[in-house]
Structure 1
Amino acid sequence: MHNAQPWHFRYFRGSRVFHVRADFDRVMPHADPDTRALHLGCGAALFNLRVAVVHEGWYPATQVLPDQTDPALLATVQLIGLGSDESGLAALYPAIHQRHTSRFPFEETEIPQSVRTALSGAAHIEGASLTFPTAWHLQELLDLVREAEARNLTDRASDQDLARWTHIDDSSERPAPDGVPDYAFGPRKLGGKAPMRDFAGTRPVAGRDAAEFEHSPHLALLSTAHDRPEDWVRAGQAMQRVLLLATLKGLSSSLATQPLEWTDLRWPLRDPISGEGHVQMLLRLGYGPKGTSTPRRPVSEVLDIEP
């Protein structure tokens, strides 16, 4: 969320084990008080690690939340043997470097059912479900996003979270290695129904364009059966698997977290037919610009290597 990069890796050479740890100093106190979004982000980073391990010819034996006395230790990944590509993970490796959040308008082009089915299958492999709402349910989701965005624009605590993790006119010699810089905000939305967050808030951004966004956006709900920390990590892995596969399928993507930041708005997002499941992320998918890369923290800050 907001490119906070709330993860830390520690690699133990002797045992060939990675520890994936949460950096709770990077939590957003208002938007993510229970650290659910932090766990999702770390789950996505964990999935990228699994893909990279397989790409290098190893098998990633993964345990989520292996030590109940250490809540910051979100997962361990041991590199063992050559062999299984763990359900085709290696094929996703190129997409890690290609996928960037796109905050630009997408085409109104329909996403083929075969692609939707493949994306839902990708989420299922990781223990989550991905559904594509339509008709009145889709309109309800868009209304909830609009309500959440309106609240965020007038909520002081939300503005504080946004101010910390966005950077306008950062022309210093050493620009921030995290957060969302103004060149990645995308244009202001003149019209359309796409669920876009305005990262500028009420602040002016010199030279920023405005654009019409899609009127029939393609949204997908990522959900889990339960809502515990292990489910959040699982959802993060599922989210990343879906996003990487979508990239390989030629789709661009962005995330709509606004209604997930408000307890009373998150619950109505769920499947209205079954009334079950806990929505963990709202994805916007479509054909359009691939988005702009955002900064990453130096490797020395996020990786320790032990004997």
Structure 2
Amino acid sequence: MNAEPLDTKTITALVTDAVAAPSLHNAQPWVFRCTRDTGVLRLYADLERALPHTDPENRGLYMGCGAALFNLRVAAAAAGLTPRVLLLPDPASAELLAEVHLSGTGPSGDTLARLAPSIRRRHSSRFPFRDEEVPVATRERLSEAARLEGAELFFPDPWHVRSILDLIRDAEDSEALDPQVHAETVRWTRTESSAVTAAADGIPGEAFGPRQRGTSVPVRDFAVGRPMPGRGRAAFEENPNIALLGTARDEPVDWVRAGQALERVLLQATTDGLVASVTSQPLEWQDIRWAVRDPVSAMANVQMVIRLGYGPEGEESPRRPVADVLDFL
């Protein structure tokens, strides 16, 4: 017997939470389609929002869609529903990334549902954090969050953190010398505030954070080469807490899984009172990406560099109207 299809209001609410997910340059490269008679939701990659020079394999695009998929699962669980997900269900359609069947009543005390309050609170923070270590128990919860989604979260030793920071500087230099990559960054990031531009995507000036002074942390400076009056400088933490998120394999389905793992880690971090920022900058260059991995770890493919800590919450980035990303068929 088929489950009763969900109403339009419920589906819209679920997708509203889904699209609060992070994505590369906040391009929001997703489209949801709901079949009215079955209530099945399908998640598609919006390739018109791809970054072909920054993200030529669409790895970051798939991860962003995976993060949105995880938010959808959390929102569904909080609404008392059980999401059943099929990843890449149609080999003939590279754009169809997931099919979500929603039915029944979710189990009481579902661990996904507990993360729901953090969906709207999670923002990338590109501001200075306190020089304070993340407790071991908190790290273990974050690592478990990644494992639950088929990924691994690794906290590198101080020597490896310094190596990663050096690689990020190398990636910054490579980006500065590549006019096509730089042009994509300029297209999706704006030195003006969201109140001025009224843009529904990209990264607004207030979310850039201050320029770094005297220290080096893995925070991408989106204003490089562009004047930004009124933007100050600040000293960031001397010993940043860095985590590497990775997977055993490096295929499109792994990128979607990594995106789900990333968002689960970020929501758990938010629940635990942490703030975070992420960067894929050293992973966007094939001659640099391999060196980010710790050679003594079992992690085969690093998918994201995460900075964690205690400090000010980040500014909220704009979101496209749900009507622009959700179709009912």
Give the structure-2-normalised TM-score. 0.90
Give, in whole Å, the separation in 2 of the partners of 1:11 and 1:191.
50
| CA deviation after TM superposition for structure 1 residue 120, in Å | 0.1
| CA deviation after TM superposition for structure 1 residue 147, in Å | 1.0
CA offsets, 1:117-151, max 9 Å, x none?
A: 00000000000000100132222111111111122
1:193 matched residue in structure 2:
216
1:122 matched residue in structure 2:
145
1:298 matched residue in structure 2:
321
Aligned partner of 1:262 among 258, 280, 285? 285
2:162 matched residue in structure 1:
139
CA offsets, 1:58-79, max 9 Å, x none?
A: 0000010000001100001111
| CA deviation after TM superposition for structure 1 residue 173, in Å | 7.2
| CA deviation after TM superposition for structure 1 residue 81, in Å | 1.1
Give, in whole Å, the separation in 2 of the partners of 1:274 and 1:142.
18
Matches within 5 A, 1:1-307: 1-84=24-107, 88-169=111-192, 175-274=198-297, 276-306=299-329
CA offsets, 1:65-117, max 9 Å, x none?
A: 00000110000111111132695000000100000000000000110000000
Structure 1 runs (4+) greater than 4 angstroms displaced = 170-174
Percent identical pairs in the alignment equals 52
Give, in whole Å, the separation in 2 of the partners of 1:169 and 1:251.
27
| CA deviation after TM superposition for structure 1 residue 267, in Å | 0.7
76-85 or 248-257, which moves further after superposition?
Answer: 76-85
CA offsets, 1:163-199, max 9 Å, x none?
A: 1101123678761100001111110111212112111
Report the CA distance shift for 1:171/1:91 in structure 2 as closer, same or farther (over 3 A).
closer
Give, in whole Å, the separation in 1 of the partners of 2:208 and 2:194.
16
Opposite residue 286 of structure 1, the aligned amino acid is G
CA offsets, 1:239-294, max 9 Å, x none?
A: 00000000010000001211011001111111311465100000000000110001
Opposite residue 190 of structure 1, the aligned amino acid is R
Unaligned runs of 5+ in 2: 1-23
112-121 or 266-275, which moves further after superposition?
Answer: 266-275
RMSD between superposed Cα atoms in Å: 1.5
Report the CA distance shift for 1:255/1:85 in structure 2 as closer, same or farther (over 3 A).
farther
State the aligned residue count.
Answer: 306
Q: 1:218·1:286 contact (CA, 8 Å) conserved in 2?
A: yes
CA offsets, 1:218-253, max 9 Å, x none?
A: 000000000000000000000000000000100000
Opposite residue 249 of structure 1, the aligned amino acid is D
Give, in whole Å, the separation in 2 of the partners of 1:119 and 1:271.
19
Secondary structure class of the residue paired with 1:267: helix
Report the CA distance shift for 1:258/1:174 in structure 2 as closer, same or farther (over 3 A).
closer
Q: 1:22·1:39 contact (CA, 8 Å) conserved in 2?
A: yes
Report the CA distance shift for 1:191/1:113 in structure 2 as closer, same or farther (over 3 A).
same
More strand by share: 1
Give, in whole Å, the separation in 2 of the partners of 1:213 and 1:137.
19
Give, in whole Å, the separation in 1 of the partners of 2:76 and 2:194.
36
CA offsets, 1:2-48, max 9 Å, x none?
A: 10000011112321211011000111111100000000000000000
Give, in whole Å, the separation in 2 of the partners of 1:296 and 1:111.
30
Secondary structure class of the residue paired with 1:279: strand
Opposite residue 286 of structure 2, the aligned amino acid is T
Give, in whole Å, the separation in 2 of the partners of 1:219 and 1:241.
17
Give, in whole Å, the separation in 2 of the partners of 1:8 and 1:2.
17
14-23 or 149-158, which moves further after superposition?
Answer: 149-158
Give, in whole Å, the separation in 1 of the partners of 2:194 and 2:137.
45
